[in-house]
Chains A and B, each alone.
Chain A
C-alpha cells in the first residue's frame, strides 16, 4: 500500500488562483516541495501569506472561486487535484488527517465526545470484533488523556482547549494516517499547553511514521520541531531548507527579519527589527514586477524591483528567492532602547492584599460555592514603569486588571491610586480613576464599535469628561493621536472594518491615550498578531512612553514579549503572585518552580539547544 520509496506528498509548480469576482489574482505561486514519509515540514509566514491555503488545496475544500490553475499536487503518486471527489473523500480522515487551529470549535458542541469519536472510528473502520468504546479508550490513552471513560460522556464546552486538542489529535491519529496537516494547532493555547501539544504531535508522528505539515507563524517553534522549513511570503516560497540550517543561517532577508522581529527569551536583550508596513495584498501582486518583498526589504536595491528573483540553490537542499543572499547576515537589529526604571520610587498605583472572590449564582437547588480569582495580591506600579503580568489562562491576570481599572470591585484589600484610596469604586472614585487609568482591550475587532468612524472612536474619552467635546476639537485631537500612532490623517474618517488587524490595535491604543492617562492597563494586546505587527506595536508603546511618560500594567502569556518590554514582572498562578522582581533577574534566575516551568515551555532561541519543557500531567484539569 504505502510506497515507502517516494515522497508522500509532492507539489510541482503548484499555482492556486482566485478566479471568482471581477479580477483573478494569484493566491499561491510556484510551490515546489516534496515531503518524505515520517518527516515534518514547517510552513512559516505572516497571516495572508497562504499557509492555510496549502492545507485547503490538499483537501480541495478551497474558498469559492479559488482553483488550482497550474502544476500538480501528488499524494503517494496520485494527483489530488484531478482525483475523483469520492476517492479524495475516502482518503480524508483516513490517510490524510487534519488538526485545526481552534480546538474548542473543532468539535461539534451538541454531540458528546463519545458520539463524535464513535462516528469517526466507525468511518475509518474497526478491526473485526473490536468495540468502538474500547478502541476510543486506547486512542485516548495514546494521547495521555486520563479518565477516558468519563471523557466519552463529556461535551466540548466542559473541557479545556488543551483537552479538546488532545481529543482531536487522538481522532487524527486513530487511523494511523500517512499525512497530517496541523494548521496552527497551538496558537490558541497557553505556552505550557503548547509545549505539551507539540511534543505530543511529534510523539504520535514518530509512532506511526506519519509525514506532517506543521503550519505556524512562529519561526522559533517551527525550527524546533520540523525537519524542513518553508517560509512563505505573499503566496510564494521565499526560502526552503533544513530547519536547523535555515534558522541558524537564514538566507532570505525576510526570514532574517522575521527572526529578528521576535523578542528573545534568553541571553542579552536585543532590539527588535521592525518590518515596515505590511505584506502587499494579493491583488496588488499581479501588477508587481520585481521581488514581492522588495518594498519592505532592508537590503533592496534597484535590481530587486526589475524581475521576480528565482528560487536559487544556496546549499544542500536549501533554496532562497533572493538575488543578494550574501548580504542577509548583515541585517542586524537596531540597538535596544535604553530600559527605563521607575522615575521615582513613589508608587503610583498600589495594591494591597487584593482579593476577588466569585460566588456562584443563587439557586434553590445547589449550595453556593465561591472561588478566589485573585488571592491576596500585593503590587506596586511606579511612575513611568512597565510591569508585566504573566501566567496561564485562569491564573487571574485579567481579573486583576479588571480590579485595577475599576470594572470590578475587590472583595478584600485596598487599591491606592496616586495617594488616594479608590477601593470603594463609587462614582467619585470612578471619575478620579478615569483620569488616571485607561485600559487597552485584547481584541480590537470587538473593542472598536464598527459603526463609528476612527476619529470618533479615538476621542471617545472626551464624551465622558465633556471637555474639548465639540466636533472641531475632537477632529484636531484625533489627527494628533493618529499621527502619534503612525496612521495617515485620512484614517480618521474610516470605519474599523477598513483597517488591518495591526492598525486596529493601534487605534485601540490611541483611544486609551486620548486624555493622556498616567497608567495604561493592557490585556494581551499583542497576542494573535503577526510578529512583524507585534514588533511595530511594542516599539510604538516604548516610543509613546518616551513622549508621555505613562506607566503600564502589561498582561501577556508571551514571556519573550514581557522580557523585551517590561522593567519588572509578576508571575501569577491560580490567583496568587508566586514570583516577582526585575524582569532580567526573574528570567535569568527563576526561583519558583512554576516560573521555571513557564520558561522551559518557551522554545529556546538557539535551535541547537534542546527544548525540554516540563511535561507534568499534574495540571490537566477541567476549566
Chain B
C-alpha cells in the first residue's frame, strides 16, 4: 500500500470550523493596528480643526482665565501625544468622552442611536438582496430576448437614481399623497417603547408588544425601500453577468450533457458559482450603507447614527465625531470579517489549497 497522497485534508465539519476560526483570529489580530491608526487619525485631524473644545464647553460670557483653567482641566495644555495617550486610555475603559452639545456621555448617545441604524441597514440590505437576486435571475432568464433590453433599460434607470431621491419620491407618494405609511421617526406618538437591547423590533417582540412592533415596522418600510431599491440594480447586474460567465464554462455544458434539468443546473451549478462575486459586492455595499443612511435618516427624521453625526458636525461636537468615526470603523471591520467567513464557506478554492 502506497502512502495516502492526501494526508490531512478532510474538508467539512471540524476542519471547516478550524479554518474559519483561524481566519477570525487572523482578522481580529490585524484589526488592532487598523483601529489604532484610525483612532490616531481621528484624534489628530480633529485637533487640527480650528475649534477650541474648552471655549465651547463654557458659556459664551466666560473670561479668558476661566477658559485657561478649563484647558488645563481638560488636559489641552499638554503635548499632543500625551493627550492621545490619555484619550486612548479612556477609550479602552469605554469612555469616549462627553458630548459638548448634548451634555451626555458619547457612549450612551451612540448606544441609543446605533441599534436604530443597524436595524435600518440590515433590513435595507435584505430588501436590496431580495430585489437584486430576483431581478438578476429574471435578467438572466430573459437573456437574448426583447424583454432583456426593456429590463436592462429599467435597471440602468434604477441605478442612476440616488437613494435620497427615492426617499423623497416614496415619501411623497405613500406618505403624503396616499397617506398609507408613516414617514417620521421610528414610532408614532402614544406607542409604548420597550428598552431591552435597543433594537426596537426585537425589543417589542421580546416584550410581547405586538402593536409597537407593527408600528415600528411600518416606519421602516419607506426608508428601507428607498435604500434597498437604490442598492439593488448593481446587485442585479453583477449577478446576471456572473451567471452569464458561469454559463460559458464547460461544467454547465457537461451538466447538460449528463441530462440534468435546466432548473437543477441553474440552482446547483450556475448560481452556486455566480453568487460569489455578488456576495463580495454585498459586503462592500453593506459597509457603505452605514455611512449611506445619513441622508435617508435626515429625510425621515429617523433617530439613528446619521442624524447624530449631522448634529455633531453642525455643532463641532468633537467627542461625538470621534466616537462615531470609531464605530463606523469597527462596523466595517466586522462586516468584512463576516463576508470573508461566508466566502470561505461557499468557495472551496479559498478553504483548501
Residues in chain A within 8 A of chain B (CB atoms): 59, 61, 64, 89-94, 97-98, 100-102, 105-112, 119-120, 123, 146-147, 150-151, 153-155, 157-158, 168, 171, 364-365, 620-622
A-contact 0/1 string along B1-30, CB 8 Å cutoff: 010111001111000000000100010000
| Apart from A90-B259, A92-B258, A111-B268, 10 more pairs, CB < 8 Å | A61-B253, A91-B259, A93-B258, A106-B254, A107-B254, A109-B251, A110-B347, A154-B9, A168-B254, A622-B6
Chain A residues with CB under 8 Å of B260's CB are 93, 119, 123
- Nearest residue, chain A, Cβ from B269: A108
**What are the 7 closest A-B residue pairs judged by CB atoms, nearest first?**
A93-B258, A93-B259, A92-B259, A105-B250, A98-B257, A155-B348, A108-B251
With most chain A CB atoms within 10 A of its CB, the pick from B10, B22, B255, B276 is B255
Nearest chain A CB to B144's CB is how many angstroms away? 7
Establish whether residues A106 and B259, one from each chain, have CB atoms under 8 Å apart when the complex forms: no
Establish whether residues B2 and A146, one from each chain, have CB atoms under 8 Å apart when the complex forms: yes
Chain B residues with CB under 8 Å of A365's CB are 22, 26
With most chain B CB atoms within 10 A of its CB, the pick from A123, A151, A168 is A123
A93 to B255, CA, bound (A): 9
Chain B residues with CB under 8 Å of A97's CB are 257-258
A364 to B314, CA, bound (A): 46
A112 to B256, CA, bound (A): 18
Chain A at the B interface: SS class: loop
A598 to B54, CA, bound (A): 84
A622 to B260, CA, bound (A): 29
Establish whether residues A153 and B258, one from each chain, have CB atoms under 8 Å apart when the complex forms: no
A28 to B292, CA, bound (A): 58
25 CB-based A-B contacts, threshold 8 Å? A90-B259, A92-B257, A92-B258, A93-B258, A94-B259, A97-B257, A98-B257, A100-B253, A102-B250, A106-B250, A107-B251, A108-B251, A109-B348, A112-B348, A123-B258, A146-B2, A147-B5, A150-B4, A150-B5, A151-B6, A155-B349, A157-B349, A158-B6, A365-B26, A622-B5
Chain B: interface residue total (CB-CB under 8 A): 34
Establish whether residues B6 and A150, one from each chain, have CB atoms under 8 Å apart when the complex forms: yes
Given the interface pairs A100-B250, A146-B2, A153-B11, the reply to whether A110 lies near B259 with Cβ below 8 Å is no
With most chain B CB atoms within 10 A of its CB, the pick from A102, A108, A151, A157 is A108
A365 to B22, CA, bound (A): 8
B352 at the interface (CB under 8 A from A): yes
Establish whether residues B9 and A153, one from each chain, have CB atoms under 8 Å apart when the complex forms: yes
A146 to B254, CA, bound (A): 24
B61 at the interface (CB under 8 A from A): no
A59 to B249, CA, bound (A): 17
Given the interface pairs A123-B259, A123-B260, the reply to whether A155 lies near B352 with Cβ below 8 Å is yes
Establish whether residues B258 and A109, one from each chain, have CB atoms under 8 Å apart when the complex forms: no
A352 to B276, CA, bound (A): 47
Nearest chain B CB to A379's CB is how many angstroms away? 32
B90 at the interface (CB under 8 A from A): no
A151 to B251, CA, bound (A): 19
Chain B residues with CB under 8 Å of A154's CB are 6, 9
Establish whether residues A147 and B12, one from each chain, have CB atoms under 8 Å apart when the complex forms: no
B272 at the interface (CB under 8 A from A): yes
A108 to B260, CA, bound (A): 13
| Residues of chain B in range 231-276 having any CB-CB distance to chain A below 8 Å | 249-251, 253-261, 268-269, 272-273, 276
A180 to B352, CA, bound (A): 33
Establish whether residues B348 and A89, one from each chain, have CB atoms under 8 Å apart when the complex forms: no
- Nearest residue, chain A, Cβ from B144: A64
A210 to B6, CA, bound (A): 33
B159 at the interface (CB under 8 A from A): no
A101 to B257, CA, bound (A): 13
Chain A residues with CB under 8 Å of B268's CB are 111, 119
Given the interface pairs A89-B259, A92-B257, A111-B272, the reply to whether A147 lies near B352 with Cβ below 8 Å is no
A71 to B332, CA, bound (A): 63
B130 at the interface (CB under 8 A from A): no
Nearest chain B CB to A418's CB is how many angstroms away? 42
Chain B residues with CB under 8 Å of A89's CB are 259, 261
- Nearest residue, chain B, Cβ from A105: B250
Which of A102, A110, A157 is the one whose CB lies under 8 Å from B346? A110
- Nearest residue, chain A, Cβ from B256: A61
Chain B residues with CB under 8 Å of A102's CB are 250
Which of B12, B26, B250, B253 is the one whose CB lies under 8 Å from A153? B12
Nearest chain A CB to B273's CB is how many angstroms away? 6
A364 to B25, CA, bound (A): 11
- Nearest residue, chain A, Cβ from B22: A365
